[in-house]
Amino acid sequence: MKTLLFVYRKIRSTLSNIIYKIRSIGQFKVSDVANLHHIGLNVTNVDSTLAFYEKYFGAKRVRYNGNIDALFADNLFLLLNPVKEPPSTNQGTSLWHIGWSGEDAQLEMDWRVKEGIEVHTPVTALDDDHFMYFFGPNKEMVEVYTRKKGHAFEHIHLLASDVDKTMNWFKSHLGLDPVYRKAALNPNGFKWNYLTVNTIDIVVFGKPIGKEAWWPEEGLKPTTGSALDHIGFSFGNIESIYKELKSAGTIIPQDIKFDPVYNHKSFLVQGPDGLLIEIVEKNNQL
C-alpha cells in the first residue's frame, strides 16, 4: 500500500507540473530569468566565519571580484558583511535556514560534533532520509539533509504566510517557475512548494495548521539585519529588470548603485514576508 501511495503521488505531481507548464504558455514573464548568485550574511568575525564553512561544509575561500574574501559553495557565493554587534537570529523571519546535502547521517553528525560544532537538532528520521541542524558562528541555522547524496550546497529554506503568493512573486518578478502549479499539502498540516535554480532548491513552507516550533506565532519578521540577511540573484542586465520591478510596484529599498567593497552593481528589492533580495549584474551565470 505504501508503494502504491508513493507511485500515485509521483504521477499526480508529474501531471500537475505538465498541466502547469501548458497553462503558463503565453503568460507574462520578465524579460530575463534570474540566476541564484549569493547568500548575504552579517558576521561579527569574517575570519572565523570563513574557517567555519571551509571546515564543516567544504566551502572554498575565494577573492570575490578580486576585491574581498568570500566563500564559494558549489553554485553560489556566501558574501560576508562585517558588523560590530551580533546580528539578530533568523528564527522568526522568512529566511529560515540554509542546507547542505549529506550521506551517512550519523557519520555526518559524529565527525562535526567531534570537531566542536554546536548542534541545534540531532539526527532525525524523515521517511527514508535524515536531517540535522547546526548553529553557524553567528547563530544562523545550517541543515544537513540526506535526500540528495553528496556534500554540496543543497537548499535555501523559506517560510511564507501564503506559499502560492510567494511562488507567484518569484515567477512573475524573477522568471522562476515553481515545481507544483499550486502548493502541495504536507501530511503534517502545512502547504509547501519549491523551485530549483542552478541545481539548488528554494523550498517554501507555509503556516502550519497546528503549533510548530519553526513557525513564529507573532508572524514573520524582516530578514534585514539578521545573520542570514538576504538572497542574491543575478541578471545580465539589471537596468531592464529594475524598470520592470519598479513599474510593477515592487518595494525597492535601494536603487541601482555600484558597491566598491564587493566591486559589483546591484539594487535591493523587498520580497515576500520581509525577505530582502539583492539583484546583482553579472554577465556569466553567477
Q: What is the mean pLDDT of the chain?
A: 89
- pLDDT value at position 148? 87
pTM of the model: 0.87
pLDDT band at 15 (very low <50, low <70, confident <90, very high): very low
Kindly indicate the confidence band of residue 10, based on its pLDDT and cuts at 50, 70 and 90. very low
Residue 106 pLDDT more than 70? yes
User: Given this model, what pLDDT does residue 28 score?
Assistant: 35
Q: What percent of the chain has pLDDT over 90?
A: 80
What are the structural domain ranges in the chain? 29-227+242-276
- Three-state SS string over the chain comes to CHHHHHHHHHHHHHHHHHHHHHHHCCCCCCCCCCEEEEEEEEECCHHHHHHHHHHHHCCEEEEECCCEEEEEECCEEEEEEECCCCCECCCCECEEEEEEECCCHHHHHHHHHHCCCEEEEEEEEECCEEEEEEECCCCCEEEEECCCCCCCEEEEEEEECCHHHHHHHHHHHHCCCCCCCCCEEECCCEEEEEEEECCEEEEEEECCCCCCCCCCCCCCECCCCECEEEEEEEECCHHHHHHHHHHCCCCCCEEEEEECCCCEEEEEEECHHHCEEEEEECCCCC
pLDDT of residue 30: 47
Which tops the pLDDT comparison, 148 or 73?
Answer: 73
Q: What local confidence, expressed as pLDDT, does residue 284 receive?
A: 59
Predicted pLDDT of residue 64: 96
- Residue range 36-73, pLDDT digits in tens: 999 999 999 999 999 999 999 999 999 999 999 999 99
According to CATH, the topology of domain 29-227+242-276 is 2,3-Dihydroxybiphenyl 1,2-Dioxygenase; domain 1 (3.10.180)
So what's the pLDDT on residue 32? Answer: 76
